[in-house]
Protein backbone atom coordinates (compact mmCIF):
# COMPACT_ATOMS: atom_id res chain seq x y z
CA UNK A 1 0.00 0.00 0.00
CA UNK A 2 1.31 3.44 -0.93
CA UNK A 3 1.46 5.95 1.91
CA UNK A 4 1.12 9.58 0.78
CA UNK A 5 2.96 12.57 2.20
CA UNK A 6 1.37 14.19 5.24
CA UNK A 7 1.89 17.86 4.40
CA UNK A 8 -1.07 19.82 3.06
CA UNK A 9 1.04 21.37 0.28
CA UNK A 10 2.34 17.98 -0.86
CA UNK A 11 -1.20 16.60 -0.97
CA UNK A 12 -2.39 19.56 -3.06
CA UNK A 13 0.60 19.17 -5.36
CA UNK A 14 -0.15 15.47 -5.74
CA UNK A 15 -3.76 16.20 -6.72
CA UNK A 16 -2.48 18.71 -9.27
CA UNK A 17 0.02 16.38 -10.95
CA UNK A 18 -2.50 13.53 -11.03
CA UNK A 19 -5.04 15.78 -12.76
CA UNK A 20 -2.41 16.91 -15.26
CA UNK A 21 -1.49 13.28 -15.88
CA UNK A 22 -5.12 12.38 -16.61
CA UNK A 23 -5.42 15.40 -18.92
CA UNK A 24 -2.32 14.54 -20.93
CA UNK A 25 -3.15 10.83 -21.13
CA UNK A 26 -6.63 11.71 -22.43
CA UNK A 27 -5.05 13.81 -25.18
CA UNK A 28 -2.65 11.01 -26.13
CA UNK A 29 -5.49 8.48 -26.25
CA UNK A 30 -7.45 10.79 -28.56
CA UNK A 31 -4.44 11.03 -30.89
CA UNK A 32 -4.20 7.22 -30.91
CA UNK A 33 -7.91 6.94 -31.69
CA UNK A 34 -7.70 9.44 -34.57
CA UNK A 35 -4.45 8.34 -36.20
CA UNK A 36 -3.55 4.98 -34.72
CA UNK A 37 -5.08 1.72 -33.55
CA UNK A 38 -7.16 3.23 -30.70
CA UNK A 39 -4.89 1.57 -28.15
CA UNK A 40 -4.95 3.51 -24.89
CA UNK A 41 -2.02 4.21 -22.60
CA UNK A 42 -1.60 1.65 -19.82
CA UNK A 43 -0.87 2.34 -16.15
CA UNK A 44 2.14 0.82 -14.37
CA UNK A 45 2.46 1.37 -10.62
CA UNK A 46 5.60 1.22 -8.50
CA UNK A 47 6.27 1.58 -4.77
CA UNK A 48 9.14 3.24 -2.91
CA UNK A 49 10.24 0.96 -0.07
CA UNK A 50 7.05 -1.10 -0.46
CA UNK A 51 4.98 2.09 -0.32
CA UNK A 52 6.29 3.31 3.03
CA UNK A 53 7.95 6.26 1.31
CA UNK A 54 5.42 6.72 -1.47
CA UNK A 55 5.71 5.65 -5.10
CA UNK A 56 4.01 6.49 -8.34
CA UNK A 57 2.14 5.55 -11.49
CA UNK A 58 3.31 5.96 -15.05
CA UNK A 59 1.11 5.65 -18.10
CA UNK A 60 2.98 4.07 -21.00
CA UNK A 61 1.95 4.76 -24.60
CA UNK A 62 1.00 1.43 -26.20
CA UNK A 63 -0.23 2.39 -29.67
CA UNK A 64 2.81 1.44 -31.73
CA UNK A 65 1.34 2.92 -34.88
CA UNK A 66 1.71 6.35 -33.30
CA UNK A 67 4.28 6.15 -30.53
CA UNK A 68 7.90 5.04 -30.52
CA UNK A 69 7.94 5.52 -26.75
CA UNK A 70 5.78 7.55 -24.43
CA UNK A 71 5.60 7.84 -20.67
CA UNK A 72 3.51 10.13 -18.45
CA UNK A 73 4.82 9.71 -14.91
CA UNK A 74 3.56 10.87 -11.55
CA UNK A 75 5.67 10.25 -8.44
CA UNK A 76 5.60 11.28 -4.83
CA UNK A 77 8.35 10.29 -2.44
CA UNK A 78 8.49 11.42 1.17
CA UNK A 79 10.32 10.82 4.45
CA UNK A 80 7.67 11.60 7.04
CA UNK A 81 9.04 8.80 9.23
CA UNK A 82 12.69 9.86 9.02
CA UNK A 83 13.55 13.19 10.63
CA UNK A 84 17.21 12.82 9.69
CA UNK A 85 16.31 13.67 6.08
CA UNK A 86 16.37 17.33 5.06
CA UNK A 87 13.90 16.50 2.28
CA UNK A 88 10.33 16.06 3.46
CA UNK A 89 8.65 15.24 0.14
CA UNK A 90 8.91 15.63 -3.61
CA UNK A 91 5.91 15.40 -5.92
CA UNK A 92 6.20 15.48 -9.71
CA UNK A 93 4.77 14.87 -13.12
CA UNK A 94 7.45 14.08 -15.68
CA UNK A 95 6.67 13.13 -19.27
CA UNK A 96 8.45 12.23 -22.47
CA UNK A 97 6.76 11.49 -25.77
CA UNK A 98 8.62 10.10 -28.80
CA UNK A 99 6.22 9.74 -31.76
CA UNK A 100 6.91 7.02 -34.29
CA UNK A 101 6.57 9.36 -37.27
CA UNK A 102 9.82 11.37 -37.52
CA UNK A 103 7.86 14.42 -38.68
CA UNK A 104 6.24 14.69 -35.24
CA UNK A 105 8.68 16.08 -32.66
CA UNK A 106 9.44 14.57 -29.28
CA UNK A 107 8.51 16.54 -26.17
CA UNK A 108 9.57 16.53 -22.54
CA UNK A 109 7.94 18.30 -19.62
CA UNK A 110 8.38 18.23 -15.85
CA UNK A 111 6.54 20.05 -13.07
CA UNK A 112 7.23 19.36 -9.41
CA UNK A 113 6.85 20.56 -5.83
CA UNK A 114 9.75 19.91 -3.45
CA UNK A 115 9.27 20.51 0.27
CA UNK A 116 11.97 20.50 2.92
CA UNK A 117 11.77 19.35 6.55
CA UNK A 118 11.32 22.93 7.79
CA UNK A 119 8.21 23.35 5.62
CA UNK A 120 9.83 25.54 2.97
CA UNK A 121 9.32 24.44 -0.62
CA UNK A 122 9.63 25.36 -4.25
CA UNK A 123 8.34 24.44 -7.71
CA UNK A 124 10.38 23.31 -10.69
CA UNK A 125 9.08 23.82 -14.25
CA UNK A 126 10.57 22.30 -17.39
CA UNK A 127 9.31 22.07 -20.97
CA UNK A 128 11.19 21.46 -24.21
CA UNK A 129 10.47 20.62 -27.84
CA UNK A 130 12.77 18.01 -29.40
CA UNK A 131 12.37 17.39 -33.15
CA UNK A 132 14.39 14.71 -34.89
CA UNK A 133 13.97 16.42 -38.26
CA UNK A 134 14.52 20.11 -38.78
CA UNK A 135 11.26 21.60 -37.51
CA UNK A 136 9.01 23.81 -39.54
CA UNK A 137 9.24 27.42 -38.45
CA UNK A 138 5.62 27.10 -37.41
CA UNK A 139 6.28 24.33 -34.83
CA UNK A 140 9.05 26.24 -33.09
CA UNK A 141 7.05 29.46 -33.29
CA UNK A 142 4.05 27.79 -31.67
CA UNK A 143 6.10 26.34 -28.83
CA UNK A 144 8.09 29.54 -28.27
CA UNK A 145 4.91 31.63 -28.25
CA UNK A 146 3.33 29.24 -25.76
CA UNK A 147 6.33 29.52 -23.44
CA UNK A 148 6.20 33.31 -23.64
CA UNK A 149 2.52 33.37 -22.74
CA UNK A 150 2.73 30.69 -20.05
CA UNK A 151 5.86 32.02 -18.35
CA UNK A 152 5.01 35.69 -18.41
CA UNK A 153 7.45 38.50 -19.06
CA UNK A 154 8.90 38.43 -15.53
CA UNK A 155 10.14 34.83 -15.69
CA UNK A 156 10.59 34.16 -19.39
CA UNK A 157 14.23 35.18 -19.84
CA UNK A 158 15.43 33.23 -16.81
CA UNK A 159 13.56 30.10 -17.87
CA UNK A 160 14.83 30.21 -21.45
CA UNK A 161 18.43 30.87 -20.41
CA UNK A 162 18.45 28.06 -17.85
CA UNK A 163 16.72 25.75 -20.31
CA UNK A 164 19.30 26.27 -23.05
CA UNK A 165 22.08 25.75 -20.51
CA UNK A 166 20.56 22.61 -19.01
CA UNK A 167 19.99 20.89 -22.36
CA UNK A 168 23.32 21.85 -23.86
CA UNK A 169 25.57 19.02 -25.08
CA UNK A 170 29.11 20.47 -25.05
CA UNK A 171 30.76 17.47 -26.71
CA UNK A 172 28.54 17.85 -29.78
CA UNK A 173 28.30 21.65 -29.65
CA UNK A 174 24.52 21.67 -29.78
CA UNK A 175 21.44 21.52 -27.58
CA UNK A 176 19.11 18.54 -27.29
CA UNK A 177 16.12 20.34 -28.78
CA UNK A 178 15.11 23.66 -30.30
CA UNK A 179 13.05 25.25 -27.53
CA UNK A 180 13.85 24.82 -23.83
CA UNK A 181 12.46 26.23 -20.60
CA UNK A 182 13.68 25.53 -17.06
CA UNK A 183 12.55 27.49 -14.00
CA UNK A 184 14.16 26.33 -10.77
CA UNK A 185 13.44 27.21 -7.13
CA UNK A 186 10.16 28.98 -7.97
CA UNK A 187 8.28 30.33 -4.96
CA UNK A 188 6.62 33.75 -5.05
CA UNK A 189 5.47 33.52 -1.44
CA UNK A 190 1.92 32.39 -2.27
CA UNK A 191 1.50 28.62 -2.61
CA UNK A 192 -1.97 28.95 -4.12
CA UNK A 193 -0.89 31.51 -6.71
CA UNK A 194 2.15 29.45 -7.65
CA UNK A 195 0.07 26.28 -7.92
CA UNK A 196 -2.30 28.09 -10.31
CA UNK A 197 0.70 29.36 -12.32
CA UNK A 198 2.12 25.84 -12.64
CA UNK A 199 -1.27 24.41 -13.64
CA UNK A 200 -1.89 26.90 -16.44
CA UNK A 201 1.71 26.51 -17.64
CA UNK A 202 1.48 22.71 -17.82
CA UNK A 203 -1.88 22.74 -19.61
CA UNK A 204 -0.55 25.18 -22.20
CA UNK A 205 2.41 22.86 -22.83
CA UNK A 206 0.09 19.87 -23.24
CA UNK A 207 -2.36 21.70 -25.49
CA UNK A 208 0.36 23.15 -27.72
CA UNK A 209 2.21 19.86 -28.09
CA UNK A 210 -1.06 18.08 -28.89
CA UNK A 211 -1.77 20.67 -31.58
CA UNK A 212 1.72 20.34 -33.07
CA UNK A 213 1.52 16.52 -33.12
CA UNK A 214 -1.92 16.39 -34.71
CA UNK A 215 -0.86 18.84 -37.41
CA UNK A 216 2.35 16.90 -38.10
CA UNK A 217 0.48 13.60 -38.47
CA UNK A 218 -2.14 15.19 -40.74
CA UNK A 219 0.44 16.82 -42.99
CA UNK A 220 2.88 13.90 -43.07
CA UNK A 221 1.07 10.55 -42.93
CA UNK A 222 4.16 8.78 -44.26
CA UNK A 223 7.94 9.14 -44.15
CA UNK A 224 11.02 7.93 -45.99
CA UNK A 225 13.67 5.48 -44.82
CA UNK A 226 16.15 8.35 -44.81
CA UNK A 227 13.91 10.35 -42.48
CA UNK A 228 13.55 7.34 -40.21
CA UNK A 229 17.33 6.98 -40.01
CA UNK A 230 17.65 10.66 -39.11
CA UNK A 231 15.17 10.03 -36.30
CA UNK A 232 17.16 7.04 -35.00
CA UNK A 233 20.32 9.15 -35.07
CA UNK A 234 18.53 11.87 -33.12
CA UNK A 235 17.28 9.32 -30.60
CA UNK A 236 20.92 8.33 -30.12
CA UNK A 237 21.74 11.92 -29.23
CA UNK A 238 18.77 11.92 -26.84
CA UNK A 239 20.13 8.85 -25.05
CA UNK A 240 23.58 10.46 -24.82
CA UNK A 241 22.17 13.62 -23.23
CA UNK A 242 19.91 11.80 -20.77
CA UNK A 243 22.51 9.31 -19.56
CA UNK A 244 25.60 11.53 -19.46
CA UNK A 245 24.29 15.01 -18.68
CA UNK A 246 20.80 14.95 -17.19
CA UNK A 247 21.05 15.56 -13.44
CA UNK A 248 17.47 14.44 -12.80
CA UNK A 249 17.94 11.02 -14.35
CA UNK A 250 21.27 10.46 -12.63
CA UNK A 251 19.93 11.61 -9.26
CA UNK A 252 16.99 9.21 -9.50
CA UNK A 253 19.25 6.30 -10.40
CA UNK A 254 21.74 7.00 -7.61
CA UNK A 255 19.13 7.33 -4.87
CA UNK A 256 17.69 3.84 -5.40
CA UNK A 257 17.10 1.05 -7.95
CA UNK A 258 13.39 0.45 -7.31
CA UNK A 259 12.15 2.22 -10.45
CA UNK A 260 14.91 1.90 -13.05
CA UNK A 261 12.57 1.18 -15.96
CA UNK A 262 10.38 4.13 -15.04
CA UNK A 263 13.27 6.54 -14.59
CA UNK A 264 14.62 5.42 -17.98
CA UNK A 265 11.23 5.97 -19.60
CA UNK A 266 12.67 8.76 -21.73
CA UNK A 267 14.92 6.42 -23.73
CA UNK A 268 13.60 5.80 -27.29
CA UNK A 269 13.00 2.27 -28.58
CA UNK A 270 16.04 2.15 -30.91
CA UNK A 271 19.33 3.98 -31.32
CA UNK A 272 22.38 3.85 -33.60
CA UNK A 273 25.17 2.27 -31.54
CA UNK A 274 27.75 2.97 -34.28
CA UNK A 275 26.96 6.67 -34.03
CA UNK A 276 27.11 6.53 -30.23
CA UNK A 277 30.48 4.80 -30.47
CA UNK A 278 31.79 7.58 -32.75
CA UNK A 279 31.16 10.10 -29.97
CA UNK A 280 33.37 8.39 -27.38
CA UNK A 281 36.45 10.37 -28.40
CA UNK A 282 34.48 13.62 -28.23
CA UNK A 283 33.63 13.12 -24.56
CA UNK A 284 35.67 14.63 -21.74
CA UNK A 285 37.33 12.23 -19.34
CA UNK A 286 35.99 10.28 -17.50
CA UNK A 287 32.67 10.59 -19.34
CA UNK A 288 34.22 8.77 -22.29
CA UNK A 289 34.34 5.72 -20.00
CA UNK A 290 30.65 6.16 -19.22
CA UNK A 291 29.77 6.03 -22.92
CA UNK A 292 31.92 2.92 -23.31
CA UNK A 293 30.07 1.35 -20.38
CA UNK A 294 26.74 2.14 -22.00
CA UNK A 295 27.91 0.59 -25.28
CA UNK A 296 29.03 -2.56 -23.45
CA UNK A 297 25.46 -3.33 -22.31
CA UNK A 298 23.63 -2.31 -25.47
CA UNK A 299 22.75 -5.04 -28.00
CA UNK A 300 25.23 -5.30 -30.86
CA UNK A 301 22.76 -5.10 -33.74
CA UNK A 302 21.85 -1.90 -35.53
CA UNK A 303 19.33 -0.26 -35.19
CA UNK A 304 19.91 -1.07 -31.54
CA UNK A 305 16.81 -1.92 -29.47
CA UNK A 306 16.52 -0.56 -25.93
CA UNK A 307 14.02 -2.74 -24.07
CA UNK A 308 13.30 -3.06 -20.35
CA UNK A 309 16.17 -5.43 -19.51
CA UNK A 310 18.63 -3.23 -21.39
CA UNK A 311 17.35 -0.18 -19.48
CA UNK A 312 18.17 -1.95 -16.22
CA UNK A 313 21.68 -2.68 -17.47
CA UNK A 314 22.11 0.94 -18.57
CA UNK A 315 20.96 2.11 -15.13
CA UNK A 316 23.54 -0.13 -13.46
CA UNK A 317 26.22 1.19 -15.80
CA UNK A 318 25.41 4.77 -14.78
CA UNK A 319 25.46 3.88 -11.08
CA UNK A 320 28.75 2.03 -11.43
CA UNK A 321 30.35 4.95 -13.24
CA UNK A 322 29.49 7.57 -10.62
CA UNK A 323 30.46 5.27 -7.80
CA UNK A 324 33.89 5.06 -9.41
CA UNK A 325 34.03 8.73 -10.45
CA UNK A 326 31.82 10.75 -8.06
CA UNK A 327 33.59 13.94 -9.12
CA UNK A 328 32.10 13.50 -12.61
CA UNK A 329 28.69 14.52 -11.26
CA UNK A 330 29.91 18.12 -11.48
CA UNK A 331 30.17 17.72 -15.28
CA UNK A 332 26.42 17.36 -15.72
CA UNK A 333 23.94 20.02 -16.82
CA UNK A 334 26.14 23.07 -16.36
CA UNK A 335 24.69 26.11 -14.64
CA UNK A 336 23.34 27.00 -11.22
CA UNK A 337 20.83 24.17 -11.21
CA UNK A 338 19.93 22.12 -8.17
CA UNK A 339 19.68 18.36 -8.88
CA UNK A 340 16.07 17.15 -8.86
CA UNK A 341 15.05 15.13 -5.82
CA UNK A 342 12.28 12.91 -7.13
CA UNK A 343 12.18 10.06 -9.60
CA UNK A 344 11.39 10.25 -13.30
CA UNK A 345 13.00 13.60 -14.01
CA UNK A 346 14.06 12.92 -17.52
CA distance 245 to 186: 23
Total residue length of the chain: 346
Percent of the chain with pLDDT strictly greater than 90 = 90
Low-confidence winner among 23-27, 87-91, 240-244, 247-251 (lowest mean pLDDT): 247-251
Pick the CATH number of 8-224 from 3.30.465.10, 3.40.50.720, 3.40.350.10, 3.40.1500.10: 3.40.1500.10
Longest dimension (CA), the chain: 57
Written in H, E and C, the secondary structure of the chain is: CCCCCCCHHHHHHHHHHHHHHHHHHHHHHHHHHHHCCCCCCEEEEEECHHHCCEEEEEEECCCCCCEEEEEEEEEEEECCCCCCCCEEEEEEEEEEEEECCCCCCEEEEEEEEEEECCCCEEEEEEEEEECCCCCCHHHHHHHHHHHHHHHCHHHHHHHHHHHHHHCEEHHHCEECCCEEEEEEEECCCCHHHHHHHHHHHHHHHHHHHHHHHHHHHHHCCCCCHHHHHHHHHHHHHHHHHHHHCCHHHHHHHHHCCCCHHHHCCCCCCEECHHHHHHCHHHCCCCHHHHHHHHHHHCCCCCCEECCHHHHHHHHHHHHHHHHHCHHHHHHCCCCCCCCCCCCCCC
3-state SS of 16-56 is HHHHHHHHHHHHHHHHHHHHCCCCCCEEEEEECHHHCCEEE
Q: Which of 52, 53, 61 is nearest to 91 (CA)?
A: 53
What's the pLDDT band for 252 if we cut at 50, 70, 90? confident
pLDDT digits (tens, 9 = 90+) for 198-211: 999 999 999 999 99
Q: How far apart are CA 325 and CA 346, in angstroms?
A: 22
Per-residue pLDDT tens for 160-176?
Answer: 999 999 999 999 999 99
| Residue 131 confidence (pLDDT) above 90 | yes
Q: How far apart are the first and last CA of the chain?
A: 26
Query: What's the rounded mean pLDDT across residues 97-121?
Result: 97
Which pLDDT does position 334 carry in this prediction?
Answer: 53
**78 DSSP assignment:** E
Q: What is the pLDDT of residue 160?
A: 97
pLDDT-derived band at 286 (thresholds 50, 70, 90) equals very high
Predicted pLDDT of residue 248: 87
Give the phi and the psi of residue 36 in degrees, each rounded to 5: -115, -140
**Domain spans in the chain, listed from the N-terminal domain onward:** 8-224
| 169 contacts 175 by C-beta, under 8 angstroms | yes
Q: Is the pTM of this model over 0.85?
A: yes
Amino acid sequence: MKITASSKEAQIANSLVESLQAYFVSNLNKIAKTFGNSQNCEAVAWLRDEGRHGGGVRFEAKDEKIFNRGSVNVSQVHYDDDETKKLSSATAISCIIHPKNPHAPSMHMHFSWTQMRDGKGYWRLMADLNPSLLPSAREKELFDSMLKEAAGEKRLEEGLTQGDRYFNIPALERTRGVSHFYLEDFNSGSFENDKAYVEQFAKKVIDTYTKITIQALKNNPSHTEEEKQIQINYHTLYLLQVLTLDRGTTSGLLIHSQNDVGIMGSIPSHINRDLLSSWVDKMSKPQDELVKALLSVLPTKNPTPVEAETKKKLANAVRGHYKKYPEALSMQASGNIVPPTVDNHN
